[in-house]
Amino acid sequence: MLKTCQGQYKSTLVCPVCNKISITFDPFMYVSLPLPSTTTRSMTATVFYGDGSGLPMPFTVTLPKQGCCKDLNQALGIACCLHDDEYLLLAEVYEHRIYRYLEIPSEPLATIKDDEHIVAYRLLKTEAKFTRLEIWHRYQENEWKLFLTPLVTVLEDPKSGSDVDLAVNKMLSPLRRKAFFTSTATDSSKENVPPSSATDEKTNGCSSQFRPATQSTEGMEPEGMSSKELSFRLCITDDKGYGCQPIVKDSPIQPSHLIKVMLDWTEKEHELYDASYLKDLPEVHKSGLLAKKTKQEAISLFSCLDAFLKEEPLGPDDMWYCPRCKEHRQASKKLDLWRLPDVLVFHLKRFSYSRWLKNKLDTFVNFPIHDLDLSKYVKSKDASEGSHVYELYAISNHYGGLGGGHYSAYCKLIDENRWYHFDDSHVSPVNESEIKTSAAYVLFYQRVKHTSGGTVAEPSEHHITS
């Protein structure tokens, strides 16, 4: 068994402080390959403008599954072309409330579940003392009910209810229905705007095409209404939205680092503002969208192998003791295939476990049936062991999830040169074109031997059954 199935890794560790190199050679009986989707995670968050300058927009980014909130913040910042004078405030929205802020950079992404709703508020950096303003929304049927997505902005030392009222109106300005507003600005001001200014400007490598394509409604008011009638009915509320103290424009505001206000929507507000932009936040990850990948969109066995052999730093819980530094270090680790066995077994890591998240991946992996050439992956200079080309002869399949499942197998009978499906006590022939499925779990390959004439021969039955 050892002679037939045991291969050898070359493991290289490098200390990040003193550059000490440690090389070891370790045996293996099979190679466990991570699926790219087990090392990365696709996450969607909706970005809101904290200054009322544009409409909210969802962005999807790909991150290391073992990453943290800092990674999500940085990726979203790049995606939405965040300016140097801005920062993103991440939050989870649950039942139309801000359930929690994700302000700890080191918080693992694993604490964010796929069915949650994450938002990011673009806020201006400021060194001045500021108050964070949360704007909740409610409407009345038989009783008042929360709805829509909360908005967040910052105020510098608000003095009275007028400051809050002004901030709320500014935050809602992108939602104004243009048909209900008339411009109070002069036509000459429009003529002063260069026609190419919307496309020529670039910031941090982001063209302004990524900026909100909303027409400004500043200086505009609804037809037949005065500016005083623009104000909503606002009240200061508590964490659960139960208490409600009406805000009076001229009344002073008690100093606080956080003010939560409730904004009441009536028929008038729905006529003036399009609330649909604040509805139906996308989930962090909609699994069904990726579960239906076709074989053409599938990942390959080689991409899994590349991910397995990629150099990466050790985790903080798996640090290496550097004999030169005399301390544990988060060294970089690189695996190489040093020697391959006659029977090579690949285990596809379809089961993903973490402290907060457990799931099974049904990703389709496109693997070669014939002529799997691994020559470029073998680093040993000793070529006496011969060919590094392999033929597939068996597949173990797993159906179901973490809680339970079912196994079956495809095996090739060499004497018949034919594939069979083994499902419990039932055995049936199967076409070779049908053996590649998203249920493939363990792949069994046999080394192809070279004949004396230099041609490639099929693997022998003796090697397969040994």
Q: Are 155 and 127 in contact (CB under 8 A)?
A: no
pLDDT of residue 285: 87
Beta-bridge mates of residue 327: 322
Task: Provide CB contacts within 8 A for 366, sequence distance 6+.
Answer: 295, 298, 299, 300, 301, 436
Task: Provide CB contacts within 8 A for 426, sequence distance 6+.
Answer: none
Q: Are 97 and 241 in contact (CB under 8 A)?
A: yes
Q: What is the pLDDT along the chain (466 residues), one digit of tens a residue?
A: 788 899 999 999 999 999 999 999 999 999 999 987 667 788 999 999 999 999 999 999 999 887 899 999 999 999 999 999 999 999 999 999 999 999 999 899 989 998 899 999 999 988 778 889 999 998 888 888 889 999 999 988 787 788 888 888 899 889 888 765 544 444 433 343 333 333 333 344 464 444 443 334 444 444 444 444 445 788 888 766 666 788 777 778 777 888 898 888 888 888 888 989 999 899 998 765 444 443 434 689 999 999 899 988 887 778 899 999 999 998 999 999 999 999 999 999 988 776 556 677 888 999 999 999 999 999 887 755 568 999 999 999 999 877 778 999 999 998 899 999 999 999 999 999 999 999 999 999 999 986 555 545 455 444 444 3
pLDDT of residue 79: 94
pTM for the structure as a whole: 0.58
pLDDT of residue 142: 83
pLDDT of residue 84: 93
pLDDT of residue 41: 84
pLDDT of residue 161: 80
pLDDT of residue 309: 92
pLDDT of residue 219: 45
The dihedral built from the CA positions of residue 430, 434, 438 and 444, taken in this order, carries a sign that is: positive
pLDDT of residue 206: 61
Residues of the chain with CATH 3.90.70.10: 2-37+297-465
- Name the class of domain 2-37+297-465: alpha beta
Angstrom distances, CA of residue 99 to CA of 119, 168, 202, 292, 329: 11, 21, 35, 32, 37
pLDDT of residue 181: 54
